[in-house]
Amino acid sequence: MLPSSPQMKNVYSQIIPVLHKLDANLTSETLFIDSTTLDVNIAREIASSVVNAGAQIVDAPVSGGTQFVKMLLNTYQAPAISFCSGVAGAKVGTLSFLVGGTEEGFQVSKPILSFMGERIIHCGPSGSGLAAKICNNVSERSILKLVVKKLKNIFSWFWVFSKL
């Protein structure tokens, strides 16, 4: 898992030439599982290069970290509270993976991902796991904003009635 698209491009620009130099049998048994949340088009470009080199790749962004909770805490400026992070979730196997790639790549990656996650969903070809995660994040944030807005209204009414 890398921070974002520029780092992915840099790393794979170094890996792909090496893949072309490997024995075809070794390359065909190589699987890349990438959990970076990055630009879908860049993920598809990288996947195409990896597949053209003879290896397999799946995008498998992670869900199950603390983003929702952190956003809620930041909204109300609550004190820091220790919640189950993505790393902790991986250790206990409770993460979710939205996987993009070939069916074969998905089937090979699924047993590996199952050590870290309970829900492993094949979303379609390369980039589909990322697209699904981005849609999920947008939906989650939209719902959170609505909930926060309603909570603010409720708390405002309680404050008004407490002053009567």
Interval 103-147: pLDDT, tens: 999 999 999 999 888 889 899 999 988 888 878 777 767 777 777
Helix axes 5-21, 40-52, angle to 10 degrees: 10
**Domain-embedded: residue 164:** no
> Residue 93 is part of a domain; what is its CATH number?
3.40.50.720
- Bridge partners for 29 per DSSP: none
d(CA 60, CA 99): 4
- pLDDT tens string, the chain, 164 residues long: the values are 777 788 888 899 999 999 999 998 888 999 999 988 888 899 999 999 999 999 999 999 887 655 444 444 455 444 333 334 456 666 667 778 889 999 999 999 999 999 888 889 899 999 988 888 878 777 767 777 777 787 787 777 666 666 66
- Bridge partners for 100 per DSSP: 59, 124
pLDDT score of 91: 65
**Domain-embedded: residue 129:** yes
**Domain-embedded: residue 139:** yes
**Domain-embedded: residue 114:** yes
Query: Domain limits at 45?
Result: 5-156
**Domain-embedded: residue 74:** yes
Q: Concatenated DSSP letters for 101-130?
A: S-HHHHHHHHHHHTTTEEEEEEEESTTHHH
d(CA 75, CA 28): 48
Domain count, the chain: 1
Would you call 163 a catalytic residue per the annotation? no
Out of 110, 133, 149, 150, the active site residue is 133
Q: Give percent above pLDDT 90 in the chain.
A: 32
**Domain-embedded: residue 133:** yes
Q: Give percent above pLDDT 70 in the chain.
A: 76
